[in-house]
Structure 1
Amino acid sequence: MNIQAVERLLFHPTKRAKNEAPAGAVNIDIPLADGVILGARFFSHAASSPTLIFFHGNTECVPEHDEIGPCYVAEGLNFLVIDYRGFGWSGDEPRLATLLPDAGTAFLYVKNWLAEHGYTGPLAVMGRSLGSACAIEVAARYGDDIRALVIESGFARALPVAQALGLEQEDLTDAEDPFANAAKIGGIGKPTLILHGSCDQLIGLWQAELLHERSAAKNKELQVVPGAGHNTVIEKGGRHYFTAIGNFVGKAAGTAPDWRARRRALKAGQAPQNGEPQS
């Protein structure tokens, strides 16, 4: 595979000057070993709440998540979105060679940042589209540090995505997958939620089905959003999109009651409380 050609098609960075974070959020600058800074933004729910660490798609940037950050907060989650090199106010230029290593470095940095700032809740990692590769990489390398993996509009195999983006046939000289999502997810046993649009023309539904099939998690779900394309999963899913993620992460983190807890509460004649022990 012609890496330079793939990079030209894959990365469409949106540059934004660093601006003031909205109410309830703070900016974070993540230093990399070569001196480059990655921008991130943290939306706070509570110190003990689960934190969802989010890697976005290939045309997005941190400030564009100011509207959806509060939607995760409304579901009881802290939400932390991270940019790539060349995106938002992050330095340098995006490259395939640095994408996954940077994701691991960024994860470790924000994990420590959260602890230093008194956020004691469990961690989950999520990736959308291109970000699915980063989330899967983090879950594969640092699985002991997370409670759940969430993938939205993600891919199992990179070559069909490159072809859909317009990679020329002569550039398909090397079939080696630079991400290996299908192989990596086979080693991830943490609860995994996969969301995908039924009408995704860029990353076909079969890719989500393959990720679900290959996942090593005992607790895994594939939720297909009817009528949704690659960039309209939130639009079509509406409030249910955030509720599904909030419920899944909350249960995996032990901060939301599962059906057994609800049944016990109903028998006892009382509403279940967050954090009720699960059997």
Structure 2
Amino acid sequence: MPTNDPDSQLDSLLRALEASPEAAGVFYPRQVPKIPQGGATDYDIPVAPGVTVGARWHLADPKNPTVLAFHGNGETVPDYDDIAEMWRDIGLNLFIVDYRGYGWSGGRPTLRSLHDDPAKVADFFERELAEKSRAAGLDRPPAPLLFGRSLGSSPASRIASERGHAYRALILESGFSDVRHLLALFQIELGDLRDEAHRRFSNPELLKRVEIPVLTLHGAHDSLLPPFHARENHAAVPHEKKELRLINGAGHNDILLFAPAYFGAIRDFLQRS
């Protein structure tokens, strides 16, 4: 029976997505063992009874801000061991998080977990950040940042829309805009629930509630998620503390080959915001 109750509508949407065989094809989980990395701390973050997701904190200097980061599809936490050094070079620590079923995480990835888990991850991260800062003798932690690449643009935008006051800025890289484009790409049929999926999962719908500064980075030659996604996300941010940077020559999965332009854009943005 149709209902206007938001919680019931959300539950109906998530049930429909879980029942869709095509929806499982959205995710490309890759399992890897937990192998400690020198100079980093590993975590198992509880997200459901008996289920944890893996995370790794590359904390070079507790006096510097930390980036709470959500990676792209098919990637895992250890993929960012070398990338963390690039963040360190612009004065930032990196706290990178896996999804269910990725890396050494338990469970399996679903659109329900992509919707529900970010708040639990943020709770855990903010507690750890406060504890590490106290241990370092700081009165308060440096304001952290949010980062989401590709699939990770969704949890990063969700946290920024719901608790952005706790973060200095949001950085979206190679993110999608209207989720209905993805539903069509993966041939996921939702019928009357397509608009509810748009309202709950489309990044512009989340970004229109974001008050902190937003940097949108995208490869100018991204063929998987063409640059119109970046332009739509940028346009949705309701204030002027925002920047859109298209990286010339870059596609979707080779954008870090243009690291000087990529990290230069981040450094310059943070200096101005």
Q: Do Structure 1 and Structure 2 share a fold, with TM-score over 0.5?
A: yes
Query: SS of 1:132's equivalent?
Result: helix
Distance 2:207 2:182 in 1: 18
Q: Does 1:88 align with 2:103?
A: yes
Bigger shift: residues 171-180 or 69-78: 171-180
Q: Which amino acid aligns with 1:167?
A: Q
Q: What is aligned with 2:187?
A: 167
8 Å contact kept, 1:201–1:230: yes
Structure 2: unaligned runs, 5 residues or longer = 1-12
Following TM superposition, the consecutive aligned residue runs of length 4 or more in structure 1 with deviations greater than 6 angstroms are: none
1:257 maps to none
1:127 aligns with 2:127: no
CA contact (8 A) 2:24 2:110 kept: no
Which residue identity does 2:262 align to in structure 1? Y
User: Equivalent residues in 2 for 1:83-162 (5 A)?
Assistant: 83-118=98-133, 120-162=141-183
Give the CA deviation at 1:107: 1.0
The one-character-per-residue Cα deviations of 1:42-88 (angstroms, maximum 9, x if unpaired) are 11131121111100111111011111011101110011100000000
Question: 1:6, CA displacement in angstroms?
Answer: 4.4
- Give the aligned partner of residue 62 of structure 1: 77
Q: What is the Cα deviation at residue 219 of structure 1?
A: 1.0
| Pair 1:220-2:242 in alignment | yes
CA separation in 2, counterparts of 1:51 and 1:246? 14
Given candidates 10, 23, 26, the residue that maps to 1:10 is 26
8 Å CA contact retained: 2:245, 2:265: no
93-102 vs 80-89, which moves further: 93-102
Distance 1:204 1:82, change over 3 A: same
TM-score normalized with structure 1 length: 0.83
Verify the 8 A CA contact 2:160 2:170 in the aligned structure 1: yes
Contact 2:247/2:261, CA 8 A, preserved across alignment: no
Change (3 A) 1:247 1:54: same
Q: How far 1:251 sits from its partner (Å)? A: 4.7
In structure 1, distance between residues paired with 2:100 and 2:86:
26
| 1:227 Cα offset (Å) | 2.1
Alignment: residue pair count: 247
How much does 1:183 deviate?
Answer: 1.4
Which of 168, 179, 190 aligns to 2:201? It is 179
2:67–2:92: 8 Å Cα contact kept in structure 1?
A: yes
Q: Distance in 1 between matches of 2:271 and 2:94?
A: 13
SS of 1:130's equivalent in the other structure is: helix
Question: RMSD across aligned C-alpha pairs, in angstroms?
Answer: 1.8
CA distance in 2, matches of 1:179, 1:34: 25
Rate the CA distance shift 1:88–1:112 in 2: closer, same or farther, 3 A: same
Q: Please name the residue that 1:211 is paired with.
A: 233
Query: Structure 1 regions of 5+ residues with no counterpart?
Result: 253-279
Q: What TM-score does the superposition give when structure 2 sets the normalisation length?
A: 0.85
CA contact (8 A) 1:9 1:167 kept: no
Distance 1:167 1:203 in 2: 16
- Is residue 2:30 matched to residue 1:30? no
| SS state at 1:195 partner | strand
Q: 1:75 aligns with which of 68, 71, 90?
A: 90
TM-superposed CA distance for 1:114, in Å, is 1.4
Query: Aligned to 1:19, which of 35, 55, 74?
Result: 35
1:128-173 per-residue CA deviation (whole Å, 9 max, x = no partner) reads 0110010000001111101100000111111212333x426xx253
State the SS of the aligned residue for 1:238.
helix
Paired residue secondary structure (2:201): coil
Amino acid at match of 1:182: P
Overall identity of the aligned pairs, in %: 34
Amino acid in the other structure paired with 2:151: L
